[in-house]
Structure 1
Amino acid sequence: MEEQKRRIIKAVRYIDNNLDTDLSLDKIAEIGMYSPFHFHRIFKLITGETLQNYIIRKKVEKSAFYLAAKKEKEIKEIYLDLGFSNHSVFCKTFKKYYGIAPSAFRNSAPEHFHKILQRQSKNGQIDTVFSQYICNVKNLLNWTKMNVKIEVKELPEMNLAAVMSLGILNVEPSYNVLINWAKDKQLFPRENVKMISVYHDSFKVTPPDKVRIHACMLLDKRLGTQEGEVFSETIEAGKFIVGSGEFTLDDFEQCWVSLFLWMNEHHYSMRKTFPFEIYHSNFKEHPEGKMIVDFCIPIH
C-alpha cells in the first residue's frame, strides 16, 4: 500500500512540476516505476482522468494562473512555454475549461484571481489532491481484497480457435462468427466450453475502434488450416498472475488495474506476450449480469 502511494504521488508531482516539458507516457510511467502498458489504466482509475486529459487540464490551469498573476507575460509567451502549438489551439482549449477566451479572462482577472491562486497554492491544496488519490488507491485495494482471488499459477499450453475483432464494439459479432463455426463443427454447445478474449493491443496506444482483440474458444487440439474467419492461436504454457471472481462487465477495468497494482507490489514483470480473459459463464444468463472470469497476465 505504501509503495503504491509513493509511486502515484511521485508520478503526479513530476507532471505538475514539469508542465513545460515533453510529458510522454513512457517518461511518466518510468518515473512512477510502472510499465507503459498498464500505467495509463492505473492513472485513470486513481485520478479519474486519462493521462493526456490530466496534463492538458494542468497546463490550462497553469496558464490561467499566469494570465491572472503575471500581467507582464505576453499571452503568446505563456502558451508557447506550456507547449501549445499556436494561439488558436490554446484559445479553444482554454475556453473549453473556463468558458471565455484567455484575453477576456486576463481582463477580468480580479474576479478570478482568488480562485486561481487557491488552485495554485502549495499550502494544503497538494495534500488535499494527493489524499484523494491515495483514498482511491486504498478503496481499490479494499475492493480487490473483497472481490478478487489473486494467485500466481503455471498454466498449460492452450490451443484456440480465434476470430479477430478490430474495435471493442466488434467483439460480440466476432464471438457470433466463432460460435456459428463451432456449431457447424459440433464443438458448441458442449459441457464446460471456455471462451477467451486475447488482447493484442493496448487501449492507450490504439483507439478503441482500432484495438485488436481475438475472440477465442479453447479446443482439445490445435486447429489446422484457417477456415474462413476462424484461425488457430496458441497461448504458450508459463507463469501467470490470475485474478478470479464473479464480475459484471463494469468491473473489468477495476480487475485489470488491481492485477497490475498487485504485480508491481509483488515485484513481478510482464512477459512480452498478451494478457487475456477466460470466461467460465455467460453474463447474459445471470440475473445481475455477472460472469465468472479469470484475468490472466503473463509474467516472468
Structure 2
Amino acid sequence: MNFILNESRITYISKINKVQDYIEKHLEEDLSVGQLAKIACFSSFHFQRIYRQMTGESLYGYIKRLRLEKASFLLLSNKKKSIQDIALSLGFSNQASFAKAFKGKYGMSASEFRYLKESRSTEMINDMDRKDISMNGKVYDTKIRYTKPIELSVKSIESTKVIYIRHTGSYKGDSNLFEELFSKLYSYVNSRNYVKNDSRWFAVYHDFGDLTIEEQLRLSVCMSIYEDVKTDGEFGSMILEGGKYAVGRFLLRSDEYQLAWNYMLSKWLPESGYVPDDRMFFEYYPPQEYMEEKEEKVVEIFIPIAPL
C-alpha cells in the first residue's frame, strides 16, 4: 500500500512541475485556473486544492509571489526599465495594483526598494542603518562577499533540451543534496540508456536567491538530451533557452558557489552595462579533466542578458 501511495505522489509531483514550468514562462499572461488545471490533467474543481496540498501554497499565491519576486529582481538589476514597464510585463493590470501588492510583500514601495541598489557601492551598501528593512523575513544583507572568475565572456548559445529532477526547499551550501539529486538523475537516465559521451550536466535556479524564502526555492538538476525521450514520475523535461549569456568560469570549492553568484549578479552585472532578460539562470559543469581528486571544481555560471 505504501508503494502505491508513493507512486501516486510521484505522479502528482510530475503534474505540479509541469504547471510550474508553464507559469514560469507565461507570467505576463492572464493565467486561469481552468487553463492550468488542463495542463495538469486535473479537473478545475479539484486542482486548486491539490496544488495547495502538494506545495503548501495556493495557486494564485504562487503566481503572485513569482511575479513580485521577479519584479524585485528586475528593480535591482535593470535600472533602464521603469517600474510601470516591469509591472505590466509581469501580468499586473496596472501600476496601482502592482504598488499595493509590492508594498504588502516587502513593506516599502518599489522605488524605495530600487534605491537600495542605487545606494550600494561596488561591494556593499552605504553605511546607513537598514536593520528595519527585511525581505521575506530576512534582514537585507548589507555586505556582499564574492569570488572572481578565472574567465568571463559574453556569448550566444543554442537551446538545449534537458531531463530534470526538481527539489523545492533550502539548498544553499548543501553539497550532499546536490550529490543526491545528481545521483538519482544519473540512475534514471542511465537505466534508460539516455546518457551519451557528450551529455552535459546543469543546475537550474528558478527563483531569485535572497528574494525567495528558503522553503520555497526551486532547483532543477539536469542532463542534456538530443531527441524527444519519455519521462515519468518525478522526472520531467524542459528547454534551456538559447541566446546571449554572460558566462563566468570559476574554480570553486563546495562552499564558494554563492560567492561566485554574488560576483556575477552584484558586482559584474550592475557594472557591465548589460541587463538580464526572462530566461533562467543556470550552472554548467564541464568535464573535470584530471581534477577528480581535487577539492576545487570548474563551474560555469550562465546569466541571460538582453541584446544591447
TM-score, scaled to structure 2: 0.51
Query: Shift in Å at residue 282 of structure 1?
Result: 6.2
Match of 1:235 in 2: 240
Query: Shift in Å at residue 183 of structure 1?
Result: 1.3
- Identity over aligned pairs, percent: 18
Match of 1:155 in 2: 157
| 1:30 and 2:110 correspond | no
- After superposition, the C-alpha distances for 1:227-269 in whole angstroms (9 at most, x for unaligned) are 2221111011111000013211222112112112212212111
What is the Cα-based RMSD across aligned positions, in Å?
3.8
CA distance in 2, matches of 1:214, 1:257: 20
Instruction: Detail structure 1 runs of 4+ shifted over 6 Å in the superposition.
Output: none
Match of 1:55 in 2: 130
SS in 1 for 2:277: coil
Relative to structure 1, the CA distance from residue 25 to residue 242 in structure 2 (aligned partners, 3 Å threshold; closer, same or farther) is farther
- After superposition, the C-alpha distances for 1:46-69 in whole angstroms (9 at most, x for unaligned) are 46xxx9xx733xx5xxxxxxxxxx
User: Which residue, out of 241, 248, 270, partners 2:276?
Assistant: 270
Relative to structure 1, the CA distance from residue 159 to residue 25 in structure 2 (aligned partners, 3 Å threshold; closer, same or farther) is farther
Relative to structure 1, the CA distance from residue 25 to residue 207 in structure 2 (aligned partners, 3 Å threshold; closer, same or farther) is farther
Opposite residue 250 of structure 2, the aligned amino acid is G
| Superposition map of 1:1-300 within 5 A | 24=108, 26-33=110-117, 46=124, 55-56=130-131, 140=146, 143-144=147-148, 147-167=149-169, 168=171, 170-188=177-195, 190-223=196-229, 225-260=230-265, 261-281=267-287, 286-300=292-306
SS in 2 for 1:55: coil
Query: Shift in Å at residue 27 of structure 1?
Result: 4.2
Unaligned stretches of 5+ residues in structure 1: 1-6, 8-21, 60-81, 84-129
Unaligned stretches of 5+ residues in structure 2: 1-75, 77-105, 135-141
Q: How many residues align?
A: 188
CA distance in 1, matches of 2:286, 2:109: 35
Normalized per residue, the structure richer in helix is: 1
CA distance in 2, matches of 1:227, 1:208: 27
- Is the 1:198–1:213 Cα contact (8 Å) retained in structure 2? yes
CA distance in 2, matches of 1:179, 1:230: 11
Query: Shift in Å at residue 32 of structure 1?
Result: 4.5
Q: Which has the larger radius of gyration?
A: 1
Greater relative contact order: 1 or 2 (C-alpha under 8 angstroms, separation 6 or more)? 2
SS in 2 for 1:204: helix
